[in-house]
């Protein structure tokens, strides 16, 4: 497995594993023993970077990841998140955000217990809290780092001004946000900023929440508690319109003799050496498929053709409305 750097010092596998779908967001939780086996198989295949959050469950995903990785803790990098108003003891949600320094400290302590570890490799603010200055948030994480409880600081779904202000207090190793052929907004402002500041980028939903695998069409039905039911881009009408994107990816995959998922991930990996996607799955064969993207080489001409074909499309539907964010903690 190739390695990449997030920021100046955090080395991880070129592809990480997003673990949220194992516990929440995409329907009923998967079987715990099977997910432990999947996480450990990913490690055996060279994955060292695992993404979770207190909000996924709440807590059950952190607990799953902690149990799965306990035997190989020193060889792995675990990222988790704070930022929603969740009671760190009971798991009760208010539906809002909370990044008060005392809450950050309480969440970090709970995450350490859930993850069965005495340090968190990468701690993200999950969502910006408009009631708390980002300097106070960065300062609280800096204190946790000084205490040895956190090694690196990150932000999720933050804007450019917020990133600059946080980075000035405590340098960021990574920013996490949605990015894929299905959602290219980060190319406008975010990616140039991260390159300027030397911050790594961790795209979530790098396969467009499954859409870019080519396994979803207008006739696909989702479980009642699958967050995609709330996403305008996954309405039946939008899926019909957006199938043009899937066809572009399928055509590129056919030319290279690989799968659509591998094309989508290889395209992301080719954008910048500081990008580390975190596709999630609950299926072993999909894990193997995703990992195969590491060996897919896209030439400059491949990238040009793919980029131009996608740019000509007009995709329909907004992404991740507030209802979905609250439901999943994405």
Write out the catalytic residue numbers: 56
Helix (H) or strand (E) holding 138: helix 134-146
Which residues are CB-contacts of 99 (< 8 A; sequence separation ≥ 6)?
A: 82, 83, 125, 128, 129, 132, 136, 137
The dihedral sign for the CA sequence 311, 257, 44, 58: positive
How far apart, in whole angstroms, are the C-alpha atoms of residue 173 and residue 194? 10
Quote the CA–CA distance of 315 and 40 in Å, as a whole number: 37
Which pairing describes strands 10-13 and 3-6: parallel, antiparallel, or unpaired?
Answer: antiparallel
Angle between helices 284-291 and 260-271 (to 10 degrees): 40
Q: What letter would DSSP give residue 218?
A: T
Can you tell me the distance from the alpha carbon of 276 to that of 44, in angstroms, rounded to the nearest whole number? Answer: 18
**Which has the closest alpha carbon to 175: 150, 57, 167?**
167
- Please compute, for residue 75, the number of CA atoms within 13 A of its CA located in the half-sphere on the CB side: 12
Name which of 65, 61, 58 is nearest 85 in CA terms.
Answer: 58
């Amino acid at each position: 497995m190739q390695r990449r750097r997030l920021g100046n010092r955090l080395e991880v596998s070129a592809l990480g594993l997003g673990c949220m779908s194992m516990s929440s967001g995409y329907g009923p939780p998967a079987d715990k023993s099977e997910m432990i086996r999947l996480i450990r198989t990913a490690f055996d295949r060279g994955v060292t970077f695992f993404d979770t959050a207190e909000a996924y469950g709440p807590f059950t995903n952190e607990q799953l990841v902690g149990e799965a990785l306990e035997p190989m803790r020193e060889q792995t990098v675990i990222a988790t998140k704070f930022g929603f108003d969740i009671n760190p003891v009971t798991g009760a949600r208010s539906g809002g955000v909370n990044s008060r320094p005392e809450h950050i400290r309480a969440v970090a302590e709970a995450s350490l217990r859930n993850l069965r570890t005495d340090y968190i490799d990468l701690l993200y603010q999950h969502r910006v809290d408009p009631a708390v200055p980002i300097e106070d948030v960065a300062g609280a994480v800096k204190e946790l780092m000084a205490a040895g409880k956190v090694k690196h600081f990150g932000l999720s779904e933050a804007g450019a001004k917020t990133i600059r202000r946080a980075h000035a207090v405590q340098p960021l190793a990574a920013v996490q946000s949605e990015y894929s052929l299905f959602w290219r907004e980060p190319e406008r402002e975010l990616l140039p900023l991260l390159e300027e500041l030397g911050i790594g980028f961790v795209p979530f939903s790098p396969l467009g929440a499954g859409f870019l695998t080519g396994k979803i069409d207008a006739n696909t039905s989702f479980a009642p508690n699958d967050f995609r039911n709330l996403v305008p881009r996954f309405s039946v009408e939008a899926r019909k319109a957006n199938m043009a994107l899937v066809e572009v990816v399928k055509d590129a995959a056919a030319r290279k003799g690989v799968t659509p998922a591998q094309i989508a991930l290889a395209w992301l990996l080719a954008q910048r050496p500081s990008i580390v996607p975190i596709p999630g799955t609950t299926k072993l064969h999909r894990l193997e498929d995703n990992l195969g993207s590491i060996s897919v080489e896209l030439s400059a001409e491949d990238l040009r053709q793919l980029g131009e074909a996608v740019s000509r499309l007009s995709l329909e539907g907004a992404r991740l409305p507030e209802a979905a964010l609250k439901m999943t903690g994405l």
